[in-house]
Chain A
Amino acid sequence: MALAVVAGCSSGGHHKPALHGELTIGVLAPMSGADAALGRDLVNGASLAAAEVNDGSGLLGHRVRLAVQDDGCTPGTATQAASRLVQAKVVGVVGGVCNASTQAAVAALAGAAAPTLVTSADADTLASTSRPSTFLVNGTVYQQGLAALHWIAYRSAQRVAVVADSSPQAAELSGVVARGIDVPLAFRQTVRAGQDLGQVATATLRPRPDCVYWAGSAQDGGRLLRDLRGMGYRGRFMASSPSDSPEFVAAAGNQAAEGAFITTPARPDLLPGAAKWAARYRARYQQPPGRAAMQAYDAVRALMQAVRQAGDTAPRAVADNLLQLRGFTTFMGELRFAPDHTLSDDNHVIATVRKGAITLASTLRTD
């Protein structure tokens, strides 16, 4: 598969220093198949970051170009794509949407020690001490569980019920929350496929919780909330990231959904500080940016910041500086990596339903 090259285009019209030579950043994204739209979003976000630096003084005086590889969201294709990026001697790689394909890609890239910033995939296993050049700019599933715990704490819940569907992600999330709460766990249940949610709601309310946490699909989450409200439940309801969807509100109904909380990775339209950037993106690409675009934009910028700090493109120097980013901010605030290469303060936010729309409740940040 050919290497697609995207160079950030100058907007022109103003004096800028001449750039000498090129530095190439690899981009891994699904450019075909069911996730192609996500891939285009990701590539556009990365391209915007490159264009902005090329409009300025470049990166160490060089023009930045992107080498885009289609990972197809499949492990085999991703491995081949990663190998081609290694051969292209990229400064680093950003991207990765699907967990399985991203796992394969980072394994292939780790051998070459190419600094890799995973933008959208969220598997806990992506960050590993055996891959010191891999960093995650998206919060992991485990971190989403922590975000839920912290918000439940903020709301001073006293008795918590945890209900989850049988998906692996829901199982992990419900486990993190059930094990982590400091107040009594009033109820916990895993919902089987096809199980009557009305019965689940009845059982959930029996121990009189004041907070119900749902991990699972948007539709079942909405239905469960509808049933709970129908039975007179007035306490808090929080759902995991799949419920960051109109489908959740539709299944619950506007009235029942009102005030429900959702843990979700930040997206541009939830962050007021991203509005101007989103406008720039829209003007350039004739469509609003999605989450993948914002994550790729930040990942390219973080990688370039590390190169700038290092004053060098040597993989080890760049990786070292990714662990020591100085004053690097995103629309969420300062971005720092934890010793395990996940985000120190991850990008999960708390959204809430207001009059049928999903809006920001909290970024969970002190800054």
Chain B
Amino acid sequence: MHYRVKLRYYPGDALRAIRKEDLQAIAAKWSLQVGLENIEGEMTPGGEKTLDKDIESISQTVISLETDSEEILKNSLRDVIRRYRSPRTVFSLWGSSQEGEKVAWRVIEELDGWW
């Protein structure tokens, strides 16, 4: 089974800055593929307009985790969530594989949910 999890952190979600080197350390520790993508949305003087935008085009930092092992996925998710906390919307897992999303949901609940 191949698992892919995308964690979409919208502005203000993560407890600290998401840094490539910290994610690389998690990738090395658990031997899995970790990706990082920063999306800059369209800002207006009154803030970002998000109402009629696609989820993928809104400002966000996306962490991707890919592995064939459920255990490795769980462990790496725990490290990511302990560091940054869970992303706080149900659509912040959008783009994950079905199996990956199920595992992520369980780990997020285990670590106190979507807070």
Does B associate with A? no
Q: Which residues of A contact B (CB under 8 A)?
A: none
